Amino acid sequence: MSKRKWIVSSAILLSFMLTFISYAGELYSQSNNQFSAIEKVKIPQTKLQNLKPGTNVKLTFKSDNTFKGRYCGMEIMEAVTYEIIYIEFCHKKISDPMMPRPGENVTVKMKSGQMLPAVFNGFDYRRISITKLQDTLPQWIMLPEVEAIHYKKDTYVTGDILDNMTIMGELPLLSAIAIEDGRFRNLVALHEIKNIEVRPGKN
């Protein structure tokens, strides 16, 4: 082979190798980005209904502590448990302690004008749980439909304010995440969670 032909062949081979390396690097980058997206997916609290039971997750709390386990679904806390969490949360987080407490008699004024005398059970995301005085079973009332909740003497808070507070995580919610870590099943209050990450495979 002549020296000229060798130089031309070498140049073509080098060009091919550089093109292949660039293409391979692009494929690796795309694959790595796709893996990262699957490996670590943050799910807002408002989209928990899309999370399937059995999914491996990692919870990061507002304290920055973490907890890994298998997501079992959403559950409503028992009244006694919620009241304890509610009192602790309000004592630490709410500057104005004048908020209705679980078990307290309230009157819910709807934007439709309807008045609902009831027992207040607790807050949840964009809704409250009450038990009407003439009923025995609790019911959910959507906060965007509430004008105000009246409680104590001449004290009330508007539904719009409460609705915003539940969205911003400024009120303890009745709903909790059930997580199983292989040994125990734990209920984690939503307001304690900073974010949730989906973890593929085993934890």
Rounded to whole angstroms, the Cα distance separating 149 from 108 reads 5
Same-domain check for residues 92 and 161 = yes
Q: 119: which 2 tokens?
A: 């027992």
Name which of 168, 161, 91, 166 is nearest 122 in CA terms: 166
- Residue 160 is assigned to a structural domain of this protein: yes
- Residue 67 is assigned to a structural domain of this protein: no
- Residue 194 is assigned to a structural domain of this protein: no
Structural domain of 88: 78-167
The pTM for the full model equals 0.68
CATH of the domain at 138: 2.30.30.100
pLDDT, mean of residues 124-138: 93
- Residue 174 is assigned to a structural domain of this protein: no
CA atoms within 13 A on the CB side of 83: 9
Residue 13 carries which side chain, given as an amino acid letter?
Answer: L
Rounded to whole angstroms, the Cα distance separating 13 from 79 reads 74
CB atoms within 10 A of CB 180: 14
Q: Where are the beta strands (DSSP E) in the chain?
A: 41-42, 56-61, 66-76, 105-110, 115-124, 127-132, 139-142, 146-151, 155-158, 175-180, 185-189, 193-198
pLDDT, one tens digit per residue, over 34-74 is 333 333 444 455 567 678 888 999 888 888 899 899 999 88
Same-domain check for residues 34 and 112 = no
The band of 195, judged by pLDDT with boundaries at 50, 70 and 90, is: confident
- Residue 83 is assigned to a structural domain of this protein: yes
- Residue 65 is assigned to a structural domain of this protein: no
- Residue 119 is assigned to a structural domain of this protein: yes
- Name the pairing type of β-strands 175-180 and 185-189: antiparallel
Same-domain check for residues 27 and 82 = no
Count up the domains in the chain and report the number: 2
Same-domain check for residues 85 and 159 = yes
- Residue 153 is assigned to a structural domain of this protein: yes
Rounded to whole angstroms, the Cα distance separating 143 from 131 reads 15
Q: Residue 90's pLDDT is what?
A: 75
Q: Residue 192's pLDDT is what?
A: 83
